[in-house]
Each structure stands twice: as C-alpha cells, then as structure tokens.
Amino acid sequence: EWFFGGSTMIGTSQRDDHTIPSVVARLAEQDGILIRPVNFGVESFNNYQETLAFAGALANEDRPDLVVFYDGANDVATAVERVQVGRIDPGDVYYQAVSQEEAAERTKAGSAPNLDEQARDDLVIELGAAQYRRGVEIARWLAKGAGVPIVHMWQPSVASAPPPEVARPLIGHLGLTDDGLEQVRTLFSGIRDRSGTDPVDLSSALAGVDEPTFFDFEHTNELGARVIATAMYEQLHDELEALDR
C-alpha cells in the first residue's frame, strides 16, 4: 500500500513505528490483514506534487494494492502563498516555497493583487480548489488505468475543528485568535468543498481528544498520528479486507 502526503505523512518528529502508515499497518495486522506500507510523504508537497510522484512510482515500481493520499494543509498554504506573490491564474500549477527565504524572494519579486480580506480569501479558495481538483482527477485517472484502488483523505489542523481547551496554549503561542481560527477553517473547508472531489474528511478526527495532539499548526505528536491513523483505518478497513481475501 502506498501513502502520499507532505510532512504530516512523513511523520515529522515521530518515530518510524508511530507514523500514520505504520499505525495503519499495525491496526490491520491486529485484524489479520497483512499490508506493507510504503511512505511516499515529502516535506512541503501539495497534492499535485504527490500526484506527479505517484505517476513516477507507477512507472518504476510494482503496482500497489491500494493508494492513499492525505492532504489539506499544504494545499491551503500553497494557495495562500500564490495569492501573496500574485500567481493568480487558475490554470497555473504552483508549488509553495520550501524555505522562508525563498518565500520572501518570491513575495519581493511578485505583485499581490489589491483585494479586501473577503475577496482575497475567496481567491485563495478558488485557486486552491482548482489545483487540488486537477491533482485528484489526474491521480484517479492514473489509478483507474493501473487498476489500483485510490482514496483521497482531507487532514485536520489545529484550526479545522473547534479546538479543545487543551489546545488553547498552543493556539496562543501561534498567535491565532478565534476569528483567525475561523478564517483558516473557512479556507480549509472552502478548498475541500469547492474542489468537488469529495475526499474522505478527517478534519474532526482530533476534536474530542483531551490531551495535546498538535505541536504546531498542522503537525501532530505520536498520539495525534495514532488517532488520525485509527480514523483513517476505519475508512480503509473494508477495502483492505477485500484485498486480503
């Protein structure tokens, strides 16, 4: 089974046995389903970049039994950045800068459109949804051609569901107000919904956990990864069970 995503799929600051793919494999084994997870996560990758990686893997590796994409945070960040630097043609494909220095250079060289906050957010959603849709549609077309089941999942962030009180210190540290959280939540849900691709929505997977799960805006600790992986496995169980027969 192949897992694609950004740093949240890699498992930044998590031990190898505690990343999302590792936990999914362990849960499957407990149910008597044996899988071999391959983690294709890459730092800062958005869905479109992952789709290109998927195409390359299909061309060079033995085909997997199942492909899982896990996205959201980098797709939102990509859309926000491209508005900041003035890359606002919906037909373009954009990859977010991999460092603050590169982002600063792009911003300096670009020209952000003169928009009020609502219009800017609407543009972010339009651009993010268009690129995400394109990536998902290409990935599904590739998977269909290869005869491989594919599942796209939309990830949680500290802003994607009403945060528990235990998250308040982190939210304060990040400088996020309640209005700021709501704004980011609107960007996440807007891009997801306007894409029209209907990914499996894991946005609220961490909402009921009464221990800290995030250590920054989108990266989780090992507890957070375990809870997310459990929710992911619940969605994948029937497909994995059918493949194992």
Residue 26 burial (C-beta neighbours within 10 Å; 0-12, 13-18, 19+):
middle
| The pLDDT value given to residue 121 | 97
Residue pair 159/217 in contact by the 8 Å Cβ criterion: yes
Q: Note if the pTM is more than 0.85.
A: yes
Pairing of strands 2-5, 150-154: unpaired
Q: Say if residue 116's pLDDT is above 90.
A: yes
pLDDT single digits (tens) 138-163: 999 999 999 999 999 999 999 887 66
Q: Say if residue 218's pLDDT is above 90.
A: yes
Any idea of the CA torsion for 193, 160, 221, 177, to the nearest 10 degrees? 150
| The pLDDT value given to residue 188 | 96
Q: Say if residue 54's pLDDT is above 90.
A: yes
| The pLDDT value given to residue 210 | 87
| The pLDDT value given to residue 244 | 66
- Hunting for tokens 């459990």 — which residue is that? 230
| The pLDDT value given to residue 242 | 87
| The pLDDT value given to residue 241 | 86
| The pLDDT value given to residue 245 | 66
Determine the average pLDDT of the residues in 216-238.
95
pLDDT single digits (tens) 164-176: 788 889 999 999 8
pLDDT single digits (tens) 9-46: 999 999 999 999 999 999 999 999 999 999 999 999 99
**Strand order in 200-201's β-sheet?**
38-39, 2-5, 67-71, 150-154, 200-201
Under DSSP, the state recorded for 214 is B
Q: How far apart are CA 204 and CA 159, in angstroms?
A: 10
